[in-house]
Amino acid sequence: MSELNLILFGPPGAGKGTQADRLRNDFRLPFISTGDMLRGNVKEGTELGQEAQKYMDAGELVPDELIVKMAAERLNESDALDGFILDGFPRTIEQAKALDKQLTEVGRRVTAAILVDVPDQEVVRRISGRRLCVKSGHNYHVDFDPPKREGVCDQDGSRLIQRDDDKDEVVRNRLKVYHDQTEPLIDYFDDQGLMRRIDGTRSPAEVHDHIRAVIATLRMEDDV
């Protein structure tokens, strides 16, 4: 297997960021997210960034066409030529088809789409249970890492709050968007034989081990 081109996806709160960091260190691959691409282009004032900024300033979603162009440029940079880990792109079937097209044109392909799967109720529990210290930003979780005194930071005695985007109703809305827009990608990659499902309810270490095992199997199959 000459290169390792991975797509990492799953619902919010699935732990994709944690796994991406570990895989990046394991395989020395760049971790490329939609957010990073957008921020990078906007910060550098590229032509694509300036165009995207207009939509963002108007409170509108950046169109697929712009995101696809940013991804095409990013995947052609030198650090991504031996492989990459994508997160947040593709987010829709249209974006997935565009990615396939641009990779095929340069003789490349997606190695695997890895779904870190977590049930909705667990996602809500993970995200809505987060608490943040108002003074220094220390993080807690009501179930996994609770403070000694409810609502009070162990470090400095400051008040703990729940961020607006961590509230139950907001998390459920994010899940609805995920199910409506991104979940159809499961069938899309399944049809291509690229989908690999990982049980995201396990510990981060177990999830990491499972992903490593999947990649090892892919490499063995490629060598046969």
So which residues are the catalytic ones? 16, 91, 130, 163, 174
Structure tokens at 224: 């046969």
Q: Give, as one character, the DSSP assignment of residue 11.
A: S
Structure tokens at 136: 């220094």
Q: How far apart are CA 116 and CA 136, in angstroms?
A: 31
Length of the chain counted residue by residue: 224
Structure tokens at 141: 């979780």
Other CB atoms within a 10 A radius of the CB of residue 140 amount to 20
The H or E element spanning position 221 is helix 204-223
Beta strands in 27-143 (DSSP E): 31-33, 83-87, 112-117, 130-133, 139-141
User: How are beta strands 139-141 and 130-133 bridged, if at all?
Assistant: antiparallel
